[in-house]
Amino acid sequence: MSEEKPEGELTVRVQPMPADLNSAGDVFGGWVMSQMDLGSSVLAVRRAKSRVATVAVDSMHFVRPVRVGDVFNCYCRIVREGKTSITIKVEAWVERKGTFRLEKVTEADFTFVALDDLGRPTPIPAEKSE
Ligand SMILES: CC(C)(COP(=O)(O)OP(=O)(O)OC[C@H]1O[C@@H](n2cnc3c(N)ncnc32)[C@H](O)[C@@H]1OP(=O)(O)O)[C@@H](O)C(=O)NCCC(=O)NCCS
């Protein structure tokens, strides 16, 4: 039996705090999304070599809850490059408190636009071959 594993580069590893909980006692979805936005922007900025803005979040899928005591991880990979935009698949996994088992909790596609100094869309530079 094949076991699913995280795909992509680990860009965020953080523990949610009690202030990040919703009224049901699980971690607030907005906190999860903001960590995923931050984690994917690391890859977008590195690829674009400029500042970027998040223009879209697609296919957001909350699979399981995140709880206080879990360690929250974002794994990111570029899945599409356009002229000025980049789409990054983000998988959020937690290391569960107590068991330390890895479980996927959320996934989504974040699209960023590369911006010039005036905030206008600017082309993604060609990748240099080493
Ligand atoms: C990012 C921004 C400057 C782009 O301006 P724009 O007028 O939409 O620019 P364009 O129409 O030239 O599109 C730029 C790129 O974004 C892509 N894009 C625009 N809207 C999109 C959407 N909803 N989904 C996916 N891609 C989108 C376009 O396809 C294009 O990609 P390409 O060059 O690779 O083909 C503008 O939308 C903006 O400022 N948005 C707010 C960003 C922000 O504040 N983010 C933080 C939110 S908390």
Rounded to an integer, what distance in angstroms lies between the CA atom of residue 36 and that of residue 21? 17
Confirm or reject: Cβ of 122 under 6 Å from ligand 1: no
Total tally of structural domains belonging to the chain: 1
pLDDT (tens digit per residue) in 13-45: 999 999 999 999 999 999 999 999 999 999 999
Give the number of the atom of ligand 1 that is nearest the alpha carbon of residue 115: 3
* Helical residues (DSSP H) of 27-111, grouped into ranges: 29-48
User: CATH number of the domain that 94 lies in?
Assistant: 3.10.129.10
Q: Which of 77, 62, 1, 53 is nearest to 32 (CA)?
A: 62
User: pLDDT for 82-128, tens place per residue?
Assistant: 999 999 999 999 999 999 999 999 999 999 999 999 999 999 999 87
Residue 2, domain member (yes or no): no
Parent domain of 60: 13-115
What order do you get walking across the sheet with 71-81 strand by strand? 9-14, 71-81, 85-95, 102-115, 51-62
Is residue 20 included in any domain, yes or no?
Answer: yes
CA of 123 to the centre of ligand 1 (A): 12
Pocket test for ligand 1, best of 88, 113, 122 (most atoms within 8 A of CB): 113
Atom of ligand 1 nearest to the CA of 81: 34
